[in-house]
């Protein structure tokens, strides 16, 4: 399945994970990959939007969370079928974090795992789904939310969790899920949307 892109995939992984390293990135990338941080930010945004926009904003956030939930659930179904092993369990000298500490696989590291959950990246899928739905629900945001999946996707490779094709697959799946959720909302849910009072 990954044979055609394997050389480019591996070369790009090695560049991001083993060569393009900075102390600042070592600090930032785990934060970008933290779902806890993301949901904390979304929680603050939800409270702010609810106070400013009422029921409409609650519905918008419910759509957003439903999309992310669907993205995460379906991505994990694909992972179970593909069973691609994560690069940190395959490639020698891969940098990765364990218990908050950076570590490196030894030069003589040998793969022992035969099954994994690398493809597609759920972080990439969920963040892309979030970004697309945010753009559609709040047009004033313009295209700024797209920086989120780009940064999250890069962080997943930097952390040794995914190959670039895992990230690309996640982005495409997140885009598809967002499209399905948006179409379903427009067809079945929009008619029940409360009207603005101002």
- 114-148 pLDDT per residue, tens: 999 999 999 999 999 999 999 999 999 999 999 99
Cα–Cα distance measured from residue 110 to residue 90, given in angstroms and rounded to the nearest whole number? 7
- pLDDT, position 113: 92
Would you say 132 and 175 are in contact if contact means Cβ atoms under 8 Å apart?
A: yes
- pLDDT, position 157: 98
Q: What average pLDDT is seen over the chain?
A: 92
Distance in angstroms between the alpha carbons of the first and the last residue of the chain = 54
Give me the phi and psi of 189, to 5 degrees please.
-105, -25
Classified as helix, coil or strand, 22 is: coil
Could you tell me what percent of the chain has a pLDDT over 70? 93
- pLDDT, position 1: 52
What is the number of other CB atoms lying within 10 angstroms of the CB of residue 42? Answer: 16
Tell me the whole-structure pTM to 2 decimals.
0.91
Q: Is the peptide bond before 143 cis (omega within 30 degrees of 0)?
A: no
pLDDT over threshold 50, residue 3: no
- pLDDT, position 46: 86
Please, is 66 exposed, middle or buried when counting C-beta atoms within 10 Å of its C-beta (0-12, 13-18, 19+)? Answer: middle
What is the number of other CB atoms lying within 10 angstroms of the CB of residue 92? Answer: 13
- pLDDT, position 180: 97
pLDDT in tens, 164-182: 999 999 999 999 999 999 9
The H-or-E segment that residue 62 falls in is helix 55-82
pLDDT over threshold 60, residue 198: no
- pLDDT, position 143: 96
Instruction: Using pLDDT thresholds of 50, 70 and 90, give the confidence band for residue 195.
Output: low
Cα–Cα distance measured from residue 11 to residue 133, given in angstroms and rounded to the nearest whole number? 32
pLDDT over threshold 70, residue 78: yes
Tokens of 67: 């999309």
């Amino acid at each position: 399945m990954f044979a055609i892109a394997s050389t480019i995939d591996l070369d790009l992984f090695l560049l991001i994970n083993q060569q393009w390293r900075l102390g600042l990135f070592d600090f930032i990338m785990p934060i970008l990959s933290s779902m806890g941080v993301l949901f904390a930010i979304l929680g603050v945004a939800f409270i702010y939007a609810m106070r400013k926009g009422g029921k409409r904003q609650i519905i918008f956030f419910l759509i957003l969370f439903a999309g992310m939930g669907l993205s995460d659930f379906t991505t994990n179904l694909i992972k179970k079928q593909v069973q691609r092993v994560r690069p940190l369990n395959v490639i020698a000298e891969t940098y990765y974090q364990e218990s908050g500490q950076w570590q490196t696989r030894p030069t003589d590291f040998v793969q022992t795992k035969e099954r994994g959950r690398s493809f597609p990246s759920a972080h990439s899928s969920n963040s892309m789904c979030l970004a697309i739905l945010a753009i559609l629900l709040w047009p004033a945001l313009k295209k700024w939310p797209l920086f989120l999946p780009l940064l999250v996707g890069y962080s997943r490779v930097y952390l040794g969790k995914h190959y670039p094709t895992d990230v690309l697959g996640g982005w495409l799946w997140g885009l598809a899920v967002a499209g399905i959720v948006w179409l379903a909302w427009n067809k079945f849910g929009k008619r029940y949307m409360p009207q603005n009072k101002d």
